[in-house]
Chain A
Amino acid sequence: MGDTDLGLWAVPLAMLGGAIRVSTPFLFVSLGECLTERSGRINLGLEGTLVFGAMSGYAVAYESGSAWIGVLAAAGAGTLFGLFHGWVCKLPRVNDIAIGIALMLLGMGLAFFFGKPYVQPQAPDLPAISFGWWSEISQVEAALQVNALFLIGIVLTVAMWWMFRFTRVGLIIRVVGDSTDAARSMGLNPNKVRLLATGAGGALAGVAGAYLSLYYPGSWNEGLSSGQGLMAVALVIFARWSPVNCFWAALLFGAAGALGPALQSVGFSSGYYLFYAIPYVLTLGLLIAMSSPNRAIESAPGELSITK
Chain B
Amino acid sequence: MSAGDPTALSTPWVRPSAVFLPRLDPLVIPIGALLGGLLAFSFFLVVLGKAPVDFFSLVYKAGFGTAFSWQNTLSRVAPLLLTALCVALPARLGLVVIGGEGAVVLGGLAAAVAGFALSGAPGAIGIPLMMLAAMLVGGLWIGAVGALRFKRGVNETISSLLMAYVAIALLNHLVESTFRDPASLNKPSTAPLDEALRVGSLFGMDVHWGFAAGIIACIVAWVLIERTTWGFAARIAGGNMRAAQIQGLPVGRLIIGFTAAGGACAGLAGFFEVAAVHGSANGSLISGYGYTGILIAFLARHNPLAIIPVAILLSGFEASSGLIQRRMDLPDATILVLEGFVFVAILVSETLYGRFRIFQPRAEAV
Please encode chain B, from 342 to 366, with 1 for each CB lying within 8 Å of some chain A CB and 0 for all others.
Answer: 0110111011010000000000000
Structural contact, B169 and A106, CB atoms closer than 8 A: no
Structural contact, B351 and A92, CB atoms closer than 8 A: yes
Give the residues in chain B near A234, CB-CB below 8 Å: 158, 162
Partner of A271, one of B173, B332, B334: B173
A93 CA to B163 CA, complexed, in Å: 28
Structural contact, A113 and B151, CB atoms closer than 8 A: no
Q: Is A137 an interface residue (CB 8 A)?
A: no
Residue of B nearest to A296 (CB): B153
Q: Is A281 an interface residue (CB 8 A)?
A: yes
A184 CA to B165 CA, complexed, in Å: 40
Give the residues in chain A near B294, CB-CB below 8 Å: 101
Structural contact, A102 and B351, CB atoms closer than 8 A: no
Contact stretch, chosen from A18-26, A199-207, A287-295: A287-295
Residue of B nearest to A98 (CB): B347
Q: Is B110 an interface residue (CB 8 A)?
A: no
Structural contact, B339 and A284, CB atoms closer than 8 A: no
Q: Chain B nearest CB: distance from A34 CB in Å?
A: 15
Structural contact, A109 and B344, CB atoms closer than 8 A: no
Residues facing A in B139-168 (CB within 8 A) are 148, 150-155, 157-159, 161-163, 165-166
Structural contact, B333 and A274, CB atoms closer than 8 A: no
Structural contact, B177 and A270, CB atoms closer than 8 A: yes
Residues facing B in A254-308 (CB within 8 A) are 270-274, 276-277, 280-281, 283-284, 287-288, 291-294, 306-307
Partner of A108, one of B169, B170, B336, B347: B336
Q: Chain B nearest CB: distance from A39 CB in Å?
A: 18
Residue count of chain A within 8 Å CB distance of chain B: 48
Structural contact, B155 and A106, CB atoms closer than 8 A: no
A110 CA to B353 CA, complexed, in Å: 29
A60 CA to B332 CA, complexed, in Å: 22
A97 CA to B338 CA, complexed, in Å: 20
Q: Chain B nearest CB: distance from A120 CB in Å?
A: 14
Q: Chain A nearest CB: distance from B73 CB in Å?
A: 21
Structural contact, A106 and B341, CB atoms closer than 8 A: yes
Q: Is A197 an interface residue (CB 8 A)?
A: no
Q: Is B271 an interface residue (CB 8 A)?
A: no
Please encode chain B, from 271 to 299, with 1 for each CB lying within 8 Å of some chain A CB and 0 for all others.
Answer: 00000000000000000000100110010
Known contacts A97-B157, A291-B152, A291-B155; 20 additional CB pairs below 8 A are A94-B350, A101-B98, A101-B294, A102-B295, A102-B346, A105-B295, A105-B339, A109-B337, A109-B340, A227-B165, A271-B177, A273-B173, A274-B170, A280-B162, A287-B162, A288-B148, A288-B154, A291-B153, A291-B154, A293-B150
Query: A residues near B, CB below 8 A?
Result: 44, 88, 91-95, 97-99, 101-103, 105-113, 116, 227, 230-231, 233-234, 237, 270-274, 276-277, 280-281, 283-284, 287-288, 291-294, 306-307
Can you give 20 A-B contacts (C-beta < 8 A)?
A: A88-B347, A94-B350, A101-B98, A106-B337, A109-B339, A110-B333, A110-B340, A112-B331, A113-B330, A113-B333, A231-B162, A273-B173, A274-B169, A288-B148, A288-B152, A291-B153, A293-B150, A293-B152, A293-B153, A307-B155
